[in-house]
Amino acid sequence: MGDDTPRTPNLALREIRARLRLSQDEFAARVRQAGARLGEPNDCSKRLVQRWESGEHATCRPVYQRALQEATGRRFEELGFTPAEPIPVDRRSFVAAGMLATGGIALAEPFDRLRRALQFPARLDVAAVDLLEQAGADHFTQEEQIPARLLADHVGAHVDLLSLLLAGSTERHRTRLAVLAGESAALAGWLAYDTGDLAGARGYWQTAIDAARHAGDGPLLACVLAYLSYLTSSQGEPAEAFRLLTAAGGHVRSPQHAAARSWIAARASEEAAALGDPAALVSLERAMTAFDYAQPDTGRPWVKFFDNARLGSMAVATYARLGHPDVEGAAQAVMGSLAASDHKTRAVILADVATGHMAHGDLEAGCDLAARALDATLSGEAVLGRERLTALRPALHASGTAVGVQVAERIAASF
C-alpha cells in the first residue's frame, strides 16, 4: 500500500485486543504462541500489530489468519480485516481457546470465552444441562455465606464449562444454556466486584447482558443491571444507578417475578434516597407491596437471597439516607431477625444506622455502631459494608472523639 493510499484503521482488531487487556507487544506474543500451538510458527511483532490496527496492512497471510483465530477465539471474518477466502476452522482449536493453555496461561478471560461461545453452535451432551443448572443455583446460595475470594474461581470455572458446552450445543438446548451461562457470568461479575476487580466485573456483566439478549431473557438482563447499579453507585453516580434500576424494573413486571421486582424497587429506593429524593419512600412502598406476592421457593436463583431481612436492610438504608425517624426501629427489627452467621447483612445495617447517627450529631452511638459494623464487615468480607464504612470514615475522623478517630484508622488499615 503506497503512502498516499487512504487507510481504514482496523477498529475491530483494536477493540478485541483492548478487551483482552493486552498491549500491542503482549498481543504479538500471544499470536506467536498461538502459531506455535498450531505447529505454524510466525514472527508476529509489535510493529506488525501496529500495521494491522492502522490499516497499513488490510489483510494478512493465512499463517497469521489461523494464529489470530487461535489467539482470540474468534473467526477471522470478525477481526476487521479486508474480507478474504474463509479459513477452515478446526473446532478443537476453539475448544482449546476456551480452556487453560499449557502452563496454566489463560488464552482469554472467561467472559470473552462465553461471548465467543454464543457465536459457535454445534453439539451438546443433553445429560449435562440439569446438573449445570443445579450447580449454578448452588453457587448463588453459597455466595450468601462464603467470601467472594473463595468462591470466585469455582464460579469462573463454571462459566468456562458452560461456555464450552454452549459452543457444542444444538439449537434445542442453546437458549437454556445461554441463560445458565449468563446467570453464572452475572454472579462471577458480582464476585469480581466484591474482590475489587472492577474491570473483571464489567467484563462479566457485559457478557451476561449479551447472553440475556441472545436468549431474549428480560429478567436476566434486569439482574445484571441491578448488579451494575451497585458499582455505579460506589463510584459516586447515584443518578445513573437509579436510571439502571428503572430500566431493570421494566423487565420484571410479570407476577412470577415479584421477588425480583421487590429487590429492584428497594434498590431504587436506596439510590433515590442518596439523591435526597423523598420519592424514595414511594419506591420502598412498591418494594414492600411486591414482596407480599413473592413466592420464596420459586423464582430465579439470583433472587432467592432476597428475604425479609434483606428488604428490611434496604429500608434501613433508605431511612438513614433520608434522615427518617423510623430508622432506629427498623434497624432493631431487622437485626433481631438475622441469623448469627449473616455477617454481610448485619454489616450493612450497622453501617447505615451509624451513618444516620453521625449525620444527626449523635457521635457516641455513631462511633460505637461503626466499630460493630467494621467487625461484621471483616467477618463476612462484605463489599457493601466496606463501601459504607469507607464513605463514613471522614466523618468518624472529624468527630474529634478518641473512639471515632480509632475506628477511622481501623477502617483505613482494613481496606
CA dist 77 → 12, 32, 61, 267, 303 (Å): 10, 20, 14, 42, 39
pLDDT band at 267 (very low <50, low <70, confident <90, very high): very high
- What is the spatial distance between Cα 316 and Cα 161, in angstroms, rounded to a whole number? 40
> Could you read off the pLDDT of 185-233 as tens digits, one per residue?
999 999 999 999 999 999 999 999 999 999 999 999 999 999 999 999 9
Paired strand residues for 261: none
pTM here is 0.66
Query: Mean of the per-residue pLDDT values for the chain?
Result: 84
DSSP labels, 391-412? HHHHHHHHT--HHHHHHHHHHH
Domain boundaries, the chain: 11-89, 109-214
SS3 236: coil
129-181 pLDDT, tens digit per residue, is 777 898 999 999 888 878 888 899 999 989 988 888 887 677 778 899 999 99
Q: What are 220-246's pLDDT values in tens digits?
A: 999 999 999 999 999 999 999 999 999
Q: What angle do CA 238, 242, 245 make, to 5 degrees?
A: 140
Does pLDDT of 85 surpass 50?
no
